[in-house]
């Protein structure tokens, strides 16, 4: 057991690595790492289950630095405990191009970073998904191979952000007892004391949501140890309010906003070395302190080996299933079941809304792929995200289900889905109305940044939702999502395209997919079965013309039907038009130039979409035309709205004739 002196020196190693790295970079946030060094030292030396030599060990504890601006706390811990990705050169080049030590922790930059944090509140909200993922996998595979905690360091900023309330409420309701939040209760934000902007009692918030709450001196290692030990024994999630001094050790700036987001300066650092009795030069760690930290990192090897023995003792089928899920591989038989269903669509030709078509294909996929975990933000009956094989996931039910009732928490749902995906073993999808991607957007952006396979089922995708009016009609949302890097947006035109869109979504391992689905019924336009996935190409000729093409009609989603109607009217007038379905701009843009040229052709082009016309010039060219929305919608039945705003076959015919 380390002595008080050893603890102080180990904590000071974090403080000086952090402060010196920020100083060298001439930017950063030294105050939080300095203030939470004691808490982090106790956590990493006494409790956290990890092994730097096996950083992706599935049963490791997860550590989430929600207060991501204090990234040097995490980098220091990873360096000191022996993670290969964070040698001293990385610490010395904090915030520099090409190094893993970015200004905020970036998932995928280095082992030991469990999730990208920085946007305040995202870490604590994502941690709900991590903790829930552990419970879901535990229910399937048992305590012997899945039994770990999720620890979070969150600050005042995380708890002021509205997403935190959604996360706190959700975790309390689901009794995620292996979730422990360490609140850096330093009372300081960028502007100064938090009393400038809030008088909220965070402890009461957590208590009201069903959490166990403790309050301790965050610089007392014995109190920290006792609090974490108690938190591990509860049957609810836990919050430990750690009263700390931001910038602990800084002689004149400690406890003030001056340490929050700026280097301390050479004079303050010299005074800090004197005050804390630290004689080492910048980036030098005394040998005994370094050995103590490396010893703390090495202690997880025993746990890892014991876990390996238990895992090897599993029956072969269960072991194979666990490995498959953790590796993110789909079951071998899913594609056969999927193709059988797609063939059935072309035979039965169901005229259904694509939101219903989505549910129909989910009935097939969730049977074949048991790790698919669905959900909805209180719109299950509208999003059609629940299938017959999915029981609800509840605390009382032992987390054995496959469907989450997220409640009216779009932002929290999206963040939790990121956590589920990052935890591993789970393929999450969740739904709301497309207009409410506004609430999900920060989490969707992080899905994209982290290349996570998360599926966002966004229904009521245009003015076609009708009577709910312009507040619910997502005129501009698809354009904004198309503008976000690494997000695949798919707006399918019928039941066949919807099925293919789902096949693309669950095999897309490089980022999230947004499915934009209709409320209104649509006919099947693809009446001939084929094995290959045309939606995977992003765009294709769905209805060709006889003879030389004189005009190309391009559409997505519900407007492909309108384009096909316009094609028939143009044919009656002696004009050859081809119809291109363009369900995904991102997938189409990824095709070869030759393929795209062949699909779009050289004839004049007219596009139609019951959404903003923004961005369509890329496909119709300077001389093309776009039939679409130039403002917000209105409250009326869908057919009336389409007629009122000119989203019609006649309008498309008129535009085409002006170009021919």
For the annotated catalytic residues, the residue numbers are 410
**Is the distance from CB of 205 to CB of 166 less than 8 angstroms?**
no
| 187 phi-psi bin (left φ>0, alpha ψ -120 to 50, beta other) | left
Can you spell out the DSSP letters for 334-401?
HHHHHHHHHHHHHHH---EEHHHHHHHHHHHHHHH-TTEEEEESS-HHHHT---TT-PBP-TTTTT--
Q: Work out whether strand 540-543 and strand 551-555 pair parallel, antiparallel, or are unpaired.
A: unpaired
Unique residue bearing structure tokens 């109190």: 223
Q: How far is CA 435 from the centre of its chain?
A: 18
Helix (H) or strand (E) segment spanning residue 72:
helix 71-80
Sheet holding 455-459, edge to edge: 403-405, 372-376, 427-433, 455-459, 513-517, 488-490
Both tokens assigned to 19: 């402060």
Burial-class residue 601 by CB neighbours within 10 Å (0-12, 13-18, 19+). Answer: middle
Find the angle CA(627)-CA(629)-CA(632) to the nearest 5 degrees.
170
What Cα–Cα distance (Å) separates residue 547 from each residue in 365, 526, 553, 568, 604? 41, 21, 16, 14, 15
Both tokens assigned to 595: 């393929």
Residues 6+ apart with CB under 8 A from 275: 249, 251
Q: Sign of the C-alpha dihedral, residues 444, 446, 448, 454? A: negative
Both tokens assigned to 16: 């000086």
What Cα–Cα distance (Å) separates residue 312 from each residue in 55, 140, 317? 19, 17, 12
What Cα–Cα distance (Å) separates residue 541 from each residue in 553, 587, 592? 10, 15, 15
Find the angle CA(647)-CA(580)-CA(642) to the nearest 5 degrees.
10
Listed as own residue / partner, the contacts of 504-508 with beta carbons closer than 8 Å and 24 or more positions apart are 504/533, 504/535, 504/536, 504/584, 504/587, 505/429, 505/455, 506/330, 506/365, 506/369, 506/372, 506/427, 506/453, 506/455, 507/330, 508/453
Q: How far is CA 586 from the centre of its chain?
A: 19
Q: Name the residue among 380, 432, 384, 383 with its Cα closest to residue 411.
A: 432
Q: Work out whether strand 192-193 and strand 577-581 pair parallel, antiparallel, or are unpaired.
A: unpaired
Can you spell out the DSSP letters for 296-334?
HHHTHHHHHHHHHHHHHTS-HHHHHHHHHHHHTPPPTTH
**Is the distance from CB of 366 to CB of 390 less than 8 angstroms?**
yes
Unique residue bearing structure tokens 């931001």: 246
DSSP state for residue 281 in the 8-state scheme? P
What Cα–Cα distance (Å) separates residue 143 from each residue in 44, 137, 140, 314, 397? 22, 9, 10, 12, 16
Helices (H), 93-175: 122-141, 156-160, 163-173
């Amino acid at each position: 057991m380390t002595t008080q002196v050893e603890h102080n020196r180990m904590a000071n190693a974090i403080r000086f690595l952090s402060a010196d790295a920020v100083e060298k970079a001439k930017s950063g946030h030294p105050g939080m790492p300095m203030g939470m060094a004691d808490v982090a030292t106790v956590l990493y030396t006494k409790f956290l289950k990890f092994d730097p030599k096996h950083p992706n060990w599935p049963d490791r504890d997860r550590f989430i630095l929600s207060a991501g601006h204090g990234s040097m706390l995490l980098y220091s811990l990873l360096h000191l405990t022996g993670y290969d990705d964070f040698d001293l050169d990385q610490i010395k080049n904090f915030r520099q191009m090409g190094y893993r030590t970015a200004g905020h922790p970036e998932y995928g930059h280095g082992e030991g970073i469990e999730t990208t944090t920085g946007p305040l509140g995202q870490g604590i909200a994502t941690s709900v998904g991590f903790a829930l993922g552990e419970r879901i996998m535990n229910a399937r595979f048992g305590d012997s191979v899945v039994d770990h905690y999720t620890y979070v360091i969150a600050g005042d900023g995380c708890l002021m952000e509205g997403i935190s309330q959604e996360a706190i409420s959700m975790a309390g309701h689901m009794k995620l007892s292996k979730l422990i939040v360490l609140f850096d209760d330093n009372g300081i934000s960028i502007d100064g004391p938090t009393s400038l902007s809030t008088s909220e009692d965070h402890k009461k918030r957590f208590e009201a949501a069903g959490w166990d709450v403790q309050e301790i001196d965050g610089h007392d290692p014995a109190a920290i140890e006792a609090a974490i030990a108690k938190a591990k024994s509860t049957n609810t999630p836990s919050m430990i309010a750690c009263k700390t001094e931001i910038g602990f050790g800084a002689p004149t700036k400690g406890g003030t906003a001056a340490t929050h987001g700026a280097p301390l300066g050479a004079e303050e650092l010299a005074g800090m070395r004197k005050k804390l009795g630290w004689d080492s030069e910048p980036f030098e760690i005394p040998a005994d302190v370094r050995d103590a930290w490396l010893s703390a990192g090495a202690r997880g090897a025993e746990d890892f080996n014991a876990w390996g023995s238990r895992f090897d003792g599993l029956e072969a089928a269960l072991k194979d299933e666990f490995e498959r899920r953790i590796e993110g591989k789909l079951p071998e038989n899913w594609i056969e079941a999927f193709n059988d269903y797609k063939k059935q669509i072309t035979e039965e030709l169901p005229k259904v809304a694509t939101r219903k078509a989505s549910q129909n294909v989910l009935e097939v996929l969730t049977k074949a792929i048991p790790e698919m975990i669905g959900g909805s933000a209180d719109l299950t009956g509208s999003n059609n995200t629940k299938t017959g094989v999915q029981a609800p996931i509840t605390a009382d039910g032992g987390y054995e289900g496959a469907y989450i009732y997220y409640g009216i928490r779009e932002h929290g749902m999206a963040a939790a889905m990121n956590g589920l995906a990052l935890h591993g073993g789970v393929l999450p999808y969740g739904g709301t109305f497309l207009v409410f991607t506004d609430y999900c957007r920060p989490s969707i952006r992080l899905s994209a940044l982290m290349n996570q396979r998360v599926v966002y089922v966004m229904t009521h995708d245009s003015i076609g939702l009708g009577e709910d009016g312009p507040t619910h009609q997502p005129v501009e949302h698809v354009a904004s999502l198309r503008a976000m890097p690494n997000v695949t947006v798919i707006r399918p035109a019928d039941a066949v395209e919807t099925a293919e869109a789902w096949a693309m979504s669950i095999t897309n391992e490089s980022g999230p997919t947004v499915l934009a689905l209709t409320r209104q019924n649509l006919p099947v336009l693809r009446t001939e079965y084929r094995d290959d996935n045309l939606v995977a190409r992003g765009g294709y000729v769905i209805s060709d013309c006889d003879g030389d093409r004189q005009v190309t009609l391009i559409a997505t989603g519900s407007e492909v039907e309108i384009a096909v109607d316009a094609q028939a009217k143009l044919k009656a007038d002696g004009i050859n038009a081809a119809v291109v379905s363009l369900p995904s701009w991102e997938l189409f843009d990824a095709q070869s130039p030759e393929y795209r040229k062949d699909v779009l052709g050289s004839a004049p082009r007219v596009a139609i979409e019951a959404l903003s016309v923004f961005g369509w010039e890329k496909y119709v060219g300077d001389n093309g035309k776009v039939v679409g929305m130039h403002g917000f919608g209105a409250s009326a039945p869908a057919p009336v709205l389409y007629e009122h705003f000119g989203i019609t076959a006649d309008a498309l015919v008129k535009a085409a004739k002006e170009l021919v």
